[in-house]
Structure 1
Amino acid sequence: MTSYPDRNAPHIVKVIKTSTAKVMILYAASLDLLPILKEMEKQNVTGKVLVANTGWSTAVAPSPQMLLAVLHGTIGLALQSGTIPGLKQFLNTINPSMSLGRAWTKIFWESAFKCRFISDKNETGSLGTNVKECSGSENLESLQNVYNDVSSLRPTYSIYTAVLAVANALKDMNNCKNGEGTFSKRLCANIKDFQSWQLLYYIKNVRFKLKSGKEVYFDENGDPPAVYDIVNRQLSPSGGMITVKVGSYDLAALPGKIFTINTSSILWHSGETQVPISVCSHSCPPGFWKAGRRGEPACCYDCVPCPQGEISNQTDSFTCVKCPWDMWPNPEKSSCLPKPIEYLSYEEPLGTTLTCMSTISSLIPVVILKLFIHFKATPIVKANNYSLSCLLLLSLPFCFLCSLMFIGFPKPENCLVRQVAFGMVFSLCVSCILAKTIMVVFAFMATKPGSNLKKWTRPWVSYMIISICLFLQFILCVTWLSLDPPFLEQNIETQPRLIILQCNEGSPTAFWCMLGYLGLLATISFVVAFLARRLPDSFNEAKYITFSMLAFLSVWVSYIPASLSSQGKYTVAMEVFAILASSWAIVFCMFAPKCFIILFRPSMNSREYVMKKART
C-alpha cells in the first residue's frame, strides 16, 4: 500500500508472522519493500523464505547487517547477467585528466584510492588532512570493488543488448537498396532522415548472436524471449551478503533446458540445504485424489483414497479414473491390472480332490455289479430284482462321473449339457429305485389269496415305470434347452476383483424344476418304501430304500441354502459335493448290507436260511 508512509508494514508483517506458511512471495519494488523488511527485523520474523521478483531480488539493502536474518535464503528471479566485452578494459582507462566527466571522476578517484588532489578542492569532503596526495596515475586494475566487477551486470547488460539490437537494426536499414525495400514501392528508409516506425520495423526483424553465443531476436508480438537468472541470497565468508546464481529460465534454450536449477547450490534460511515445504497439505500420492476443504484456500485439501475400482496414476490428481471392466486396481490403486479369472480348476486342491473322489467312486458300483453278476444265482440277489439292481448299478457310475463336467475350464458345450446330463442320469437312478420299491409292494400283494396283481410283477412293468419317469425328465430338459438354454458368462458382479467364469443356467425356474422332479421321484420312493418296510420277507429291500432315499433327500435339501450362500467356484463345488454325497448315499444304503452278507455271511445267503426265516 504505497499510500501509507510505512507501506502498512506493521499489519503486513503481522499477517506474515501469524501465517503457518514458510514461504512468502513478495512482489514489490525495492523502495516499497524496505519498510516491510525493517518491520520484519523489528518483530524478529525469521524462518521465512522470501521469494523475490526482479524488482528487488538483486537490490543492495541500505544496511545489510540489519536485514541479514530476514534476507538470508531469499530466492527469486533476476534480469539476465552477462559480461560486456571490453567494458572492464574501458573502465580501467578512466583517468582524472579526461575532460569528460572530470568532476565525477575525481570524486570516484579520491574515494577509491583514499587520497585527494592538492590543486583542487577536496571533492569528497570526507577525507582528513593526513591523507596522501592523488597523482592521477594510480592503477584502477589493482582495485577489487563493485566498480570494476563486471562479471554480473544485469540492467547494464540489458542496456548493452538493447543498444546492439538498435545498432543492428540501423545496419540493416543502411544496407537496404531501393527496389528491394519493404516499404511503399519497395523503397528503403533514408538512414539520415527516417521515421521511428521505420526503425521499429527493422528492430522487430533483427536477429543476431552475441559473443557469448546467445541469439537475440523478437517474436511476432515484438517481445524478446524471456531470459531470467534464478538467484539466491547467501552469507559471504566475510559476514556480508552475496547474490549467487543457482539456475536459469530461458525460453530460447533447447527443449529440456529451458528451466534449470541446481538445488544443491541453494542455501535456505538458517543455512539449510533441504527444500522447505510451505503447504497446508502435502502432495497426494498416486492412488489418492485431492478433495478440497470447505471454507479453506484451494491449496488446502485432503488426500482421499480412490473409490473401489478406480485409480489415479499421477501425483496430486483431482479425480480418479475407473478401470476397464476386465481390470482391477493394484493394492496402491495407481494402475489397473488384469482381473484374475476364477473357476473350479483341476489343478487347484479343491478341484483335484473332487476329481479323484469322482473317479474312484465311479469304480465302486462297477465292482459291486461284478459281484452281483458272480453271485446272481444266490437267493439274496434273486430276491432283490436282479435286473433292476444291475441297471441301477450301471447308472451309478455315470452319476459319479457326471460331476466331472462341472470341474475344469468352462466351455459353452459343457454349460449346455452338464445339468441335463446330471438330471437324466439321476432320473434313471431314482426311477430304478422307485420301480424296485413298487415291485416290492406288488410282489407282496400278489401273494394274497384271490389277488389279480400277479401280472403286474413281471419285468416289463418295472421297465415301463422307468421309461415313463425318464421320459418326463427328458421332456423337461428338451423344453429347457429349446427356450432358455444355459450359456457361458463372465461374472464380474459377484466379486468385482475377479472374473468368474461360470455357466449361467439360463432359466433358474427350469433348473429348479428339474431338481424338484428328482426330489418328487425320491419322495415317492421314500414314502412307498417307508410304508412297505415291515412286509414279511427275508430280504425285504424296502427298509434299505427308505434309508437311501432319506439320505438322498437330506443331501439335496441341504444343497439349496448352501448353494444360495456360496459364490463363484464354491457354488459349483457345492453341487459336485451334493452329486457325490447323494450317489454315495444310494450305494451305501442300498448295496452295502447285501455285499456284507455275500462276502462275510454266506450262511445267510442260502435257501435253507431263507426257508427258515420264511417259516418263522
Structure 2
Amino acid sequence: MKLLIAFFLLIVLIIFQELISCFSLNISASPGYYQDGDFVIGGLFSLRVTAGDTRSRFGFTDINHIPEHVYVDLTKHYQHMLAMVFAIEKINKEPNILFNMSLGFYLFNVDFIEMKAVESSMALLSGESPPIPNYSCRPEKTDKLVAVIGGISTGISTQISRVLSLYNIPQISYAPFDQSLGTRVQLQSPYQFPVHTTALYQGIIQLLLYFSWVWVGLVVPDDMRGELFLRDITEQMTKHGLCVAFAEKVPEFPAKDTVNRGLFMERFTLTRVIVAFGDTYSLLRFVYNTFCNTPFGNVWITTSDWDITIIPFEQDLGYTFFGGGLSFSVHTDQILGFKDFLGSVQPRKYPHDTFIQDVWSIIFECPYFDQHWIRELRQCEQNGSLSTRPLHVWDMNTSPPSYKVHAAVYAIAQALHEELSLRVEGGSLDKGVSWAPLPWKLHPFLQKGQLGRSSNEETIVSKEVSATKLDILNYQSLQSGTKAQVKVGEFVFESQSVQHLSLNDKLITWGEHLNQTPVSVCSQSCPLGFRKTPVEGKPFCCFDCVLCPDGEIANETDKDQCIKCPEDQYPNKQRNQCLPKITTFLSHEDTLGAVLTSVAISLAAFSAMILGLFIHYRDTPIVRANNRNLSYLLLVSLMLCFFCSLLFIGQPSTVTCVLRQVMFGVVFSVAVSAILAKTFIVVVAFKAIKPGSTLQMWMVTRLSNAIVCCGSIIQVCICAVWLGTYPPFPDVDMQSEIGQIILWCNEGSTLAFYCVLGYLGFLASLSLLIAFLARRLPDSFNEAKPITFSMLVFCSVWISFVPAYLSSKGKTMVAVEILSILASSAGLLGCIFLPKCYVILLRSGGHSRKNLFK
C-alpha cells in the first residue's frame, strides 16, 4: 500500500512539474509566425545580424526593445519567408496534392546566432514556450511537424541539424551547397540543393579570360568552403595562365578583426579585379573593412550568395564601393505569380505575421525615436507597396535562396503526396488513422528529388541536368538614378570541352570610378618586338620585357619566345616583322664595281700602251737588255691580270667562279715566273759576257724560258687538282649582312686556294731574294733594283690581303681581292716598266750599248 501511494505521489509530482514548467516559461524566447494545418513545416530564417539574443514584441504602436546591437537589417531576406508562405498557399489551393489536407507553417527568425538556431529548433519540437528537451507543451503544433527548412549558412544549418537529426526529422538547407557539411553533423546531415561548382569555376575563368584579367585578387571566408574554393580556383587559374595576386581570408563577423590595414590598402590599390566567394554574412566583416577605406575602383566578381546590394549604409555609398560588380547566379525561371504576390503583401493582409511589421518599418523608413536602446515606431505607412522600394532594401525579382525555399516546400509536399498515396492504396487513410505521418518516413521520397546529402565518405547528389546555365548580372545605376542588377550575359556549361560564354559588353557599366573596361595585370604587356622574361620571386604573370635578339622577331604582344626569321628574310628595326632580304653582289652598276672596272680597264690599256711602246722600240738596247720576249710576256700577263679582275665583278655563276680563280692563279704565276726569269738573267748575264765564260747568251735565254714554263706549269697543276677535287661554285650568304642575300663564289677547297696564293708567294719571295743579291751590279744594265721594289710591293699587298680577306664579307670581300690584284699588278707594272719608259721617251739619245756599259 505504501509503495502504491509513493508511486502515485511521484506521478503527480512529475505532471505538476511539467505543468509548472510550461506555465512559467509561457513567454516565448523566440517568437514565431504560426499558421495551422494538417501538416506543419518549420522554417528557420535569418533577417538581421545582431550582437546577441533578443526579447522583443512587435507592433506599430509598441515599443521594441532593441538587442545589444543590430549591425545589419537584412530586409531582403524577408522574401525567403514570403516564398515559403506563397508556396504553401498555392499548395493548399490544389486539393489533389495532399488529398484535401492542408499545410501549415511555423516560422522563426534566428538571426545569425547559432545558439538561437538551437533554441528555435527545440521550440519547433516543444511548442511556443521556451524549449524543454523531450517535452511537448503544445502537442497540437509539434505533433504535426513533418520537416524543417533552414538555415541560410553552414553554421546555422549545422546547429539545426544537431537537434533535428536526433528525432530523424528531415531538414532542407537553403544555404549555399557545402560538401563539408556532412562532417560537421554526427548523425544525419541536412538535404542540400547541389550546385555544379565546376561550372561556376569555369564561368569565372572564362570571364577573366574574356577581359584579359590575369592579375586577380581572391576574397574568401576563413572556413572550409573558402579553403576548398582557394584550392580549386587557384588550380584552374594556373592552368589558364592567370595569377592570384593575393588571397584575403575574412574572419567570421563576431570574431576579432585581424586585418592589416596597410596591407589591405596596398592589395586593393594595386589589384583592379577581385573575385569574392562567400555569402552576405560571412563577408560582412570584409564589407566593413572596405567601407573604412577610400574607394579603390575595383571590379568585383561574385556569386549570388553574396548580395553586394545589401549594404549596412545608404544605397549611394554602397554603389560607390561595389558598383559595376559582376555576379554569377544559377539560372532559374521566375516563380509564376510570385512577383504579383510580393506586390500585394501588406501588414494588414498578414496581421499574425510577427516579422512583417518590423521589416516594414525599416523598408519604408518609418520615423522613430531612439533613446537608451529603445525604438518607438510612429506613423508607418501600412498601405505601401514593396515594388516601390530601392534595391538595397528590397528586390521584386526572385532571389536564389527564395527559389530554393519555394522548391523545398514543393519537395516536402511531393514527399507527403507519395507517402499519403501509399496509405490510400492500403486503405489506411479511411480508417481513422492519424493523418500526420512520421517525419522520418519522408526520407526515401525526399532522396528521389533534386536534393542531396553530404557524408563523411562521399557526396551524394541527385542526377544533374545535362547543362548548367549561369546568368551574369551587373550592378549598375540606371538613367533614372535607381540601382538595379541587369543581366548582361550568361555562361552555359556542359562539359570541360563544351562551354559557352556570351556577354554583351555594351550593357556593362563599371561603376563611378571607371569609364572603360579596366585592365588588371601585374606587368604591362610586352610590345611587339619584345619577349617576356620572368622576375625572380614573383608569379609568372609578373615579368620584364626584353628586346628580341638579332635575327628574331615578336609579332604578337606578350610572347614568351621570339621567332627566328627564315633564312631568306630578316627582322625590321622594330623586330616585329620579317622582311624579304635583298639579293646583292658586286655588280657593274654599283659605284664600287664601276670604279674598279674603270681602274682595271685603264690599267689594262696602260699596259697595252707600254707593250706597244716596247714593240716600237724593240731594237733599242734598253728593251733588248733583259730579254725583250720576257718583257712582252710580262706585259701581256699583267694586261690579263687587269682583265681577270673583271671576272670578279657581276653576278656569280659556275663559269665565272671557276674562271676567275684559275685565270688569277695561272696568269699571275706566268707574270711572277717571268719576273723570276728576268731576275735570273740579270745575275747570269754578267757571267756570260765575261772573258773566258763558258755560258752563252742563247743558253741563258733558253734557261729563262724554261723557268717561265716550269713556274706556270706547276701552278696549272695546282689549279687542275683544285678543279678536279673541290672546285669553286656559286653560293649564297644569308647571315653576313642584315637584310641581304649575298651572291658569292665559294672557293670550294680553301686549302687549294691558299696553295695557289702560297705558290705565288714562293715565286715572289725567290725573285725578291735573287734581285736583292744582284742589287750591286752596274746601274746602267742592272734591273735588280726595280724588280726588288716590285716584289716588295707585290709581297706587301698579298700579305695584307690575307687578314683583310678573312675579316671582310659580301661585296667587301670581293672588292678586297680585286684591289689586291690591281694593286699588285700595278706595282709590278710601275716599278719595272715606268723607269724604262722614262729612258725610252725622255733619254732616247743615250740608248747605245756603249753608254749602257759605262
TM-score interval (norm. to shorter) = 0.7 to 0.9
**After superposition, where does 1:577-592 map in structure 2 within 5 Å?**
577-592=819-834
Which of 379, 385, 406 is residue 128 of structure 1 equivalent to? Answer: 379
Aligned to 1:287: 529
Aligned to 1:68: 318
For the Cα contact (< 8 Å) 1:79–1:229, is it kept in 2? yes
| Cα distance in 2 between the residues matched to 1:155 and 1:231 | 16
| Cα distance in 2 between the residues matched to 1:285 and 1:398 | 58
| Cα distance in 1 between the residues matched to 2:347 and 2:687 | 154
**After superposition, where does 1:492-511 map in structure 2 within 5 Å?**
499-511=741-753
TM-score (norm 2): 0.54
One-letter code aligned to 2:321: L
> Structure 1 7/301 Cα, relative in aligned 2: closer, same or farther at 3 Å?
farther
Q: How many angstroms does 1:57 deviate by? A: 5.0
Q: For residue 282 of structure 2, give the secondary structure of its aligned residue in structure 1.
A: helix
For the Cα contact (< 8 Å) 1:439–1:462, is it kept in 2? yes
One-letter code aligned to 1:611: K
Q: How many angstroms does 1:144 deviate by? A: 4.5
TM-score (norm 1): 0.73
One-letter code aligned to 2:379: G
One-letter code aligned to 1:228: D
Which ranges in structure 1 are unaligned for 5 or more consecutive residues? 116-124, 167-194, 201-219
Which ranges in structure 2 are unaligned for 5 or more consecutive residues? 1-221, 224-250, 367-375, 412-444, 451-462
| Cα distance in 1 between the residues matched to 2:364 and 2:318 | 29
Q: How many angstroms does 1:427 deviate by? A: 0.7
One-letter code aligned to 2:271: K
For the Cα contact (< 8 Å) 2:600–2:643, is it kept in 1? yes
Aligned to 1:349: 591
One-letter code aligned to 2:841: L
| Cα distance in 2 between the residues matched to 1:585 and 1:522 | 13
Aligned to 1:316: 558
Q: How many angstroms does 1:126 deviate by? A: 4.8
> Structure 1 286/416 Cα, relative in aligned 2: closer, same or farther at 3 Å?
same
Aligned to 1:29: 279
1:39 and 2:289 aligned: yes
For the Cα contact (< 8 Å) 1:78–1:229, is it kept in 2? yes
Aligned to 1:596: 838
Range moving further from structure 2, 277-286 or 469-478: 277-286
For the Cα contact (< 8 Å) 1:286–1:315, is it kept in 2? yes
Which of 676, 681, 684 is residue 442 of structure 1 equivalent to? Answer: 684
1:611 and 2:853 aligned: no
Q: How many angstroms does 1:498 deviate by? A: 5.5
Q: How many angstroms does 1:471 deviate by? A: 0.8
> Structure 1 433/52 Cα, relative in aligned 2: closer, same or farther at 3 Å?
closer
| Cα distance in 2 between the residues matched to 1:30 and 1:89 | 23
For the Cα contact (< 8 Å) 1:72–1:235, is it kept in 2? no
* Cα offsets for 1:289-336 (capped at 9, x unmatched): 333333323332222333444433332233334444444433333343
One-letter code aligned to 1:25: V
| Cα distance in 2 between the residues matched to 1:97 and 1:279 | 52
Q: How many angstroms does 1:584 deviate by? A: 0.3
* Cα offsets for 1:506-535 (capped at 9, x unmatched): 333322221121122222222223333443
Q: How many angstroms does 1:390 deviate by? A: 1.6
1:266 and 2:513 aligned: no
Aligned to 1:169: none
One-letter code aligned to 2:254: D
| Cα distance in 1 between the residues matched to 2:364 and 2:796 | 117
> Structure 1 256/567 Cα, relative in aligned 2: closer, same or farther at 3 Å?
farther
Which of 695, 708, 711 is residue 453 of structure 1 equivalent to? Answer: 695
For the Cα contact (< 8 Å) 1:392–1:429, is it kept in 2? yes
Q: How many angstroms does 1:545 deviate by? A: 1.9
* Cα offsets for 1:225-283 (capped at 9, x unmatched): 53423414459876xx724648424449xx999443537953445x3314444443222
Which of 811, 816, 839 is residue 569 of structure 1 equivalent to? Answer: 811
| Cα distance in 2 between the residues matched to 1:32 and 1:93 | 30
Alignment root-mean-square deviation, CA: 4.5
**After superposition, where does 1:159-174 map in structure 2 within 5 Å?**
none
For the Cα contact (< 8 Å) 2:330–2:469, is it kept in 1? no
| Cα distance in 1 between the residues matched to 2:846 and 2:574 | 72
**After superposition, where does 1:91-110 map in structure 2 within 5 Å?**
94=344
| Cα distance in 1 between the residues matched to 2:781 and 2:342 | 135
Aligned to 2:474: 231
1:248 and 2:496 aligned: no
Aligned to 1:331: 573
> Structure 1 473/265 Cα, relative in aligned 2: closer, same or farther at 3 Å?
same
1:386 and 2:628 aligned: yes
Q: For residue 422 of structure 1, give the secondary structure of its aligned residue in structure 2.
A: helix
Q: For residue 270 of structure 2, give the secondary structure of its aligned residue in structure 1.
A: coil
| Cα distance in 1 between the residues matched to 2:316 and 2:255 | 19
One-letter code aligned to 1:11: V
1:523 and 2:765 aligned: yes
* Cα offsets for 1:144-198 (capped at 9, x unmatched): 4469x99976659989xx99xx9xxxxxxxxxxxxxxxxxxxxxxxxxxxx9999
Which of 643, 647, 652 is residue 405 of structure 1 equivalent to? Answer: 647
| Cα distance in 1 between the residues matched to 2:397 and 2:647 | 85
For the Cα contact (< 8 Å) 2:311–2:318, is it kept in 1? no
Aligned to 1:210: none
Aligned to 1:209: none
| Cα distance in 2 between the residues matched to 1:544 and 1:536 | 13
Q: For residue 53 of structure 1, give the secondary structure of its aligned residue in structure 2.
A: strand
For the Cα contact (< 8 Å) 1:37–1:67, is it kept in 2? no
One-letter code aligned to 1:61: I
For the Cα contact (< 8 Å) 2:342–2:396, is it kept in 1? no
Aligned to 1:213: none
Q: How many angstroms does 1:4 deviate by? A: 3.6
Aligned to 2:756: 514
Aligned to 1:122: none
Q: How many angstroms does 1:58 deviate by? A: 5.1
Aligned to 2:173: none
* Cα offsets for 1:114-152 (capped at 9, x unmatched): 99xxxxxxxxx95539x8x97xxx9x79x84469x9997
Range moving further from structure 2, 220-229 or 47-56: 220-229
For the Cα contact (< 8 Å) 1:445–1:451, is it kept in 2? yes
For the Cα contact (< 8 Å) 1:22–1:276, is it kept in 2? no
For the Cα contact (< 8 Å) 1:490–1:501, is it kept in 2? yes
1:478 and 2:714 aligned: no
For the Cα contact (< 8 Å) 1:489–1:501, is it kept in 2? yes
For the Cα contact (< 8 Å) 2:529–2:553, is it kept in 1? yes
For the Cα contact (< 8 Å) 1:530–1:542, is it kept in 2? yes
Aligned to 2:300: 51
| Cα distance in 1 between the residues matched to 2:308 and 2:290 | 19
* Cα offsets for 1:541-585 (capped at 9, x unmatched): 332222222211221122223223333432222111110000101
| Cα distance in 2 between the residues matched to 1:444 and 1:315 | 84
| Cα distance in 2 between the residues matched to 1:536 and 1:93 | 136
Range moving further from structure 2, 388-397 or 575-584: 388-397
Aligned to 1:17: 265
For the Cα contact (< 8 Å) 1:264–1:273, is it kept in 2? no
| Cα distance in 1 between the residues matched to 2:473 and 2:619 | 110
Aligned to 2:607: 365
One-letter code aligned to 2:668: F
For the Cα contact (< 8 Å) 1:286–1:312, is it kept in 2? yes
One-letter code aligned to 1:248: G
One-letter code aligned to 1:471: I
1:222 and 2:222 aligned: no
For the Cα contact (< 8 Å) 1:12–1:36, is it kept in 2? no
Q: For residue 410 of structure 1, give the secondary structure of its aligned residue in structure 2.
A: coil
One-letter code aligned to 2:483: I
